[in-house]
Amino acid sequence: MAIERTLSILKPDAVKNNITGKINSYIESSGLKIIAQKMMLLTKKQAELFYEIHKDRSFFGELVEFMTSGPVIVQVLVGKNAVSKYRQIMGATDPKQAEKGTIRGDFADDISENRVHGSDSLENARKEIDFFFAEHELV
């Protein structure tokens, strides 16, 4: 098992509903460690660049609008198989299909506002971490 880094974003709905500490408890209870964290307001340009992979999808505009609707918390997680472990902890993208005991299964109600984002591959984790953090910010 490899020690990896992955990106986590606690989306505007998580911040607005004041459940970021509860979500982080799921992360830390799994054995993942938060090594960098910051709250920020994404600009439209940042959101468009970050989610560029989805630019041709019908939900792109709605996603950008949502991700710029309030503060987010971006964080870097580290641990054994961090990418796949965090994907399991998050649960299915659609909260209606997410198992209880996962972040989305316990806290999310809607696929478009599903509380969290996590990198889907080690390659994307590297790109996503570099998008938000300089190497010196990673403790």
pLDDT in tens, 9-20: 999 999 999 999
| Helix%, strand%, coil% for the chain, nearest 5 | 45, 20, 35
pLDDT reported for residue 139: 86
pLDDT reported for residue 29: 98
Q: How is residue 26 written in tokens? A: 């799921």
Q: What is the mean pLDDT of residues 56-73?
A: 96
Q: Please identify every residue annotated as catalytic.
A: 117
Domain parsing of the chain, residue ranges: 3-137
Q: Which residues have CB under 8 Å from 53's CB, separation 6+?
A: none
CATH code assigned to 3-137: 3.30.70.141
d(CA 60, CA 31): 33
Percent of the chain whose pLDDT exceeds 70: 100
> Residue 40's Cα: distance from chain center in Å?
13
Contact present, 64 and 77 (Cβ < 8 Å): no
**101: DSSP letter:** T
Mean pLDDT of the chain: 97
